[in-house]
Structure 1
Amino acid sequence: MIRIIDKLFLFIYSIAIGIISVFIACIGFNWIQEDDLNDMVSELYGTDSLLITTVVVGFILLLLSLRFFIVSLKRSSSSAPSIDQRTDFGDIRISIETIENLALKAATKQRGVKDLKARIQASDTGLNIILRAVVDGESSIPSLTEEIQKAVKEHVEEIAGIPVTNVAVYIANVIQTGTNKSRVE
């Protein structure tokens, strides 16, 4: 939403600066005579409503200038969060979303896992992967979570080349499997 508002402000600001630039160019090319310019300035100072409008427009343009100055100094947050590595050949950037997908891919291969969500936290020592899972309840939860942890750690480290310090598995629920036997009478 803020980006849309900034784009609207930039559009308005560009039009205002464009109009001011054309006016200044007209003065420079002497297309507006000195007498006409003096009349405009006299009318501006003679009418309170025009004077107030000029002050408001100037203040708005100043605020927009400050806003765009601050935005230009901020580091762009539009790029997706990533993990950066430097090699002999250059820089490597792997998005957090890629690591999440790798973790989910490894975890879904385990039997008994029905629904998964992943969250990745990067630290100086490595990755901290948090998985939220729904299981079918057919197998032992401690052994299943251990298999998930091992598979995710090995898969992410092998594919991404980034050390995984911790894989936390949170079992959110156990779902009922559709193995209800129907009664025959």
Structure 2
Amino acid sequence: MPVRHFLTDDQLDAILGGLADATALPVDLADQVAAAARETSGMGYAMAIAAAAQGDKAFLGALPSDRASRFRALRPRLRMMLAALGGGITYQCDHADEIRPLYLFCDPPSLVCTQPRCITEAGRNARKVGFRWDNQCDGCGRPAQTVFPSLATLGPLTISGHVCKLCADEMGKTAVRVSAS
């Protein structure tokens, strides 16, 4: 079984600081990525409102404009994504290599587009395969008897995982609470 690696804050900051912005992409590619990110954002908002209506906590929010706060908000998402990708990703549908809204499941690590039939099939496969890292936080790798479901977006990617209380609290600090009213 592959071993997941969880990068330190300094390592993540080096990655984030080295990323080019969208202006470095060809215009047609940047437009596609931006459109997929907008669609993902809209789906995330609808899911957050539905969760809040049922009494669950839901957090959303635009990234802060200052660099330090933006990096703090992005670190958990990037850490989860890189750990999942390093854990041996499985592509669950033929659409997963297209520029479109995608779901990344941390455990078992898999990537699928957001079409309902593809998500349903990915769920069936996950139940068959089972968890590789049960009782381990997908955000930091620590053992945790209790983990909390987590959905976070990173551009056109929605990252689904289970995080420990420390990671859930950290992610909550950089987000805006959504209410059903």
Q: TM-score, normalised by structure 2?
A: 0.23
Q: Which has the higher contact order (CA 8 A, sep 6+)?
A: 2
Q: TM-score, normalised by structure 1?
A: 0.23
Bigger helix share? 1
Structure index of larger Rg: 1
